[in-house]
Structure 1
Amino acid sequence: MPPKRDEVQVGDEKWKVPFWQEPVKEAELAKHEDGTLSLARREGYLQKRAGKSRFRWTIRFFELTEGQIRWWRPSFKDQLTQPRPPQVIRNKEPRPKPVRCLDLTQLKQITRTKVRFPYSTRILLQFNPDYTDYQLELRSERELEIMEWYKILIRFTMETYDVSVDRAPDGPADAGEETDAPDRM
C-alpha cells in the first residue's frame, strides 16, 4: 500500500503532494546565494544625479539596509578623503536623519548605462509613479564598486535595461541608444 499523500492548499484549490516530495517551505522559495532581500546590506560613497539635473553630480554617503536606500551629505573634507564612515554619521547613535530615504520595494526599473568616458557605468533607479516621481542616477569612480551596488539593486526589481553610449550625454541615462532589449527576470 503506497504512503498517504498530504493535501496542500494552493489558492482556492487543494492539491495532493507526491509522497516522495518533501513539502516546500515558504522561507526557501526563490533562494538566492546572497540570502534574502532583508539581509541585503551595502554602504559607501557614490556620486548621484537626481531629479531634473543634467550636469550636477554630487558625492553622498549611501546606505542600503532593510530594503531602504538612504543617503547623507558628508562634509567637504569627507567628500575628498572619503573615510568610512563619514563624520556626519560616525559615533552617533541613533544616526542622524538622512537627506532622503527611498523604499526599494517600490522600485519599478533599473537602467544601467555603459559609458566610455567619464566613468564607465551609471545606474538609473526609477520608482513606481504612485510612490514617487523621484529618479536617482548613481555612479562611482571605481567600476567594481558600482557593479556591486548594481548586483544588489537588480534583486529588487523585475525590469532592467542596458544602454551603451560612447560619450556621456547631457541628459539622463536613457537619452542614449538602447542596444539591448529589456531584460526580464
Structure 2
Amino acid sequence: MKPFTKERNEMLLGKKRKLGREIREMSVGEKLVLTEKVEDKDILLYLGLTDDANPLFIQHDYASQTPYKKPIVPSIMLTGMITSAVSRYLPGPGSHIVTQDIQFPKPVYHYATVQLMLEVVEVNHDDHTVIMTAVGTNEKDEVVIKGKLKVCPPHRLGGMDANVLDNF
C-alpha cells in the first residue's frame, strides 16, 4: 500500500480518492461556472425516482393552460445542479451543504440550458464552513436560480492505523 500524502488525494482502504478543496485552500472570490442542459430523460428519471406525478412537470396539455404555457423543470432538479456542483467541483468530493436558501424567480423549461455560477463569498475557519452564492441564468440571460449556501468543505483525513476499521 502506498503511503498517505498531504495532498488532496487521500488513500481510503487502499484506493486513491480525490477529495475536494480543504478550507485552508479556499479564498473569497473563487468561482465556478457550469452549463447544464435539461433533457426530458432527466425529468423522467426524477419523476420515476420520486413518484412525483405533478402534471406541471410533464403534461403539455395541462401546462399549456397555466401561466407557464408549457411544462417546467422541477425546482428540486435545479437544486440538484447546485448540490452536484458543490459535491463534484467547489469545494468538491467530501464537502457537505449545511444550509441553503434558494429561490427560483423564473421557470426553467424542458430543453433549457442553465448557466450556473457558484462563488465563495466568505471563508469561516472557526466553524469550518464557507458561504457561497449560486446564480443560474437561462439562454436569455434571465436569472432563474439564486441562492446562498453554507458549505462544510472536506475534512482532512488522518492516516490509516489499526483502529480505522473498528466500526466494521
TM-score by length of 2: 0.23
Higher percent of residues as helix: 2
Q: Whose radius of gyration is greater, 1 or 2?
A: 1
Higher percent of residues as strand: 1
TM-score by length of 1: 0.21
